[in-house]
Amino acid sequence: MSNLIRLIGRRLLALPVMVLGVTLLVFVVMSFSSADPARLALGEAASADALEQYRIDHHLNDPLLTRFWDYLVGLVQGDLGQSFTGVDISRLISDAFPITLQITLIGLAVAIIIAAVLGIIAALYRDRWPDQVIRVVSIACLATPSFWLALLLIQWLTDVPGGAGIFPALITNWVHFFDDPGEYVRQVFLPALAIAVPNIGSLTRVVRTAMVEELDRDYVRTAIGAGIPKRIVVARNVLRNALITPLTVLGLRVGYAMGGAVVIEIIFNIKGMGQLILDGITRNEVNIVQGVSITVALAFIVINIIVDMLYVLVNPRIRSV
C-alpha cells in the first residue's frame, strides 16, 4: 500500500509541472498571432490614441514574461480573461466544456463496452470464423473517419430531406439529461456513435491481443489442466490481467476522442468547445482560442493521470516496485 501511495503521489506532484508547461507553450504560441487585440476590440475606425490606451489598460505592451505571469495568476483564480464583447471566457468555457466532456465520455464508454466484448470473443475463438469476422469489423471501424461517419449518419437517420427522421440533424438548444432524458438520448446518440466507431476498431484489436497473450501463459494451462473450468479461469484471472494493456491505450484514446468531439460538435451545431474555438478563430479572439486550448490540454493531462492511477491499482506488479 505504501508503494501505491508513493506512485500516486509522484503522479500528482508531476501535475503542476505539466500544467505549467502546457500553459506556457499555448501562451507563447498565441503571442505570435498577427491579430491586434486593440484593433479587433475597438474596430477599424478607432484612433491611434484610443488603441494605445486600450493596450495600456490591458497590459498588452508589457513584456511577454510579465503578461504570462499575470495570465498564470488569473488562471489559478479561474480567470481566463474576457472576450472582445466583455464576456468572461471562463463562463463561456464552463458552459461549453461539460457538453464536450459528456459527448466524449459517452462515446468512449460505448466504444469500451463493444470493444471489450468483441475483443474477448475474438481471443476465445482465435483463428476461427468469429475471430476473422471481428478482425474485418475492427479494421473497417478503424478506417472510418469520425467526421465522415457523422455526415453519413446525418444523411441517413436525421430529419433532413431523405433521412429517417429519428434524430435531429442540428442541435440548436442543448437539453440536459434530467430535464428530458428521451430528448437527451436523441441529441447525444449520433455524435457519440461517430466518436465511438473509430475507437471500437483500435480498442478491439488491443483487447484481443492482450487476451491472446494472457491465454497463452503457463498459469492458464496449469489451471485448466488441474480441472478448473476455462470460463472460471478467464473470468477470475485472464480478464483482470488482460486489462492492463488496454488501460494504457485508453489514456491516449481520451485525447483523440476529445479532439474528435470538437470536430463532431461543429458538424452537429453543438454549442461545445468545438463551436467555441471556431468562433474564436473566425473572430480572431486570441483569448478564447487560448482558453479553450489550455482547458482541453489540462483535461487531457488530468484524465491521463487518472488512467495511470487505475493502471497502478489493476497491476499488482507495479505496486510492488
- Given 1.10.3720.10, 3.40.50.300, 3.40.50.970, 3.40.50.2030, which CATH number is that of 89-318? 1.10.3720.10
Q: Which of 242, 238, 241, 244 is closest to 223 using CA atoms?
A: 238
What pLDDT score does 200 carry?
Answer: 92
CB-count exposure of residue 190 (10 Å: 0-12, 13-18, 19+): buried
pLDDT at 196: 92
| Domain-wise residue ranges, the chain | 1-77, 89-318
pLDDT, tens digit (0-9, with 9 covering 90-100), for 180-190: 888 999 999 99
Give the residue, 101 or 33, on which the prediction is more confident: 101
Give the pLDDT band (50/70/90) at residue 2.
Answer: low
Local confidence band at 3 (pLDDT 50, 70, 90 cut-offs) = low
What's the distance, Cα to Cα, between the start and end of the chain in Å?
11
**Residue 304: pLDDT above 80?**
no
Residues sharing a CB contact under 8 Å with residue 14, sequence separation 6 or more, in sequence order? 305
Determine which helix (DSSP H) or strand (DSSP E) holds 312, and give its type and residue range. helix 286-314
Residues composing the chain: 321
Per residue in 99-133, pLDDT tens?
Answer: 998 999 899 999 999 999 999 999 999 989 999 99
- Give me the chain's average pLDDT, please: 83
CA dist., res. 176 & res. 187, Å (int): 10
Residue 15 belongs to what H/E stretch?
A: helix 2-31
* Mean pLDDT on 153-174: 84
Cβ neighbours of 78 (radius 10 Å): 10
Give me 114's grid cell. 463493444
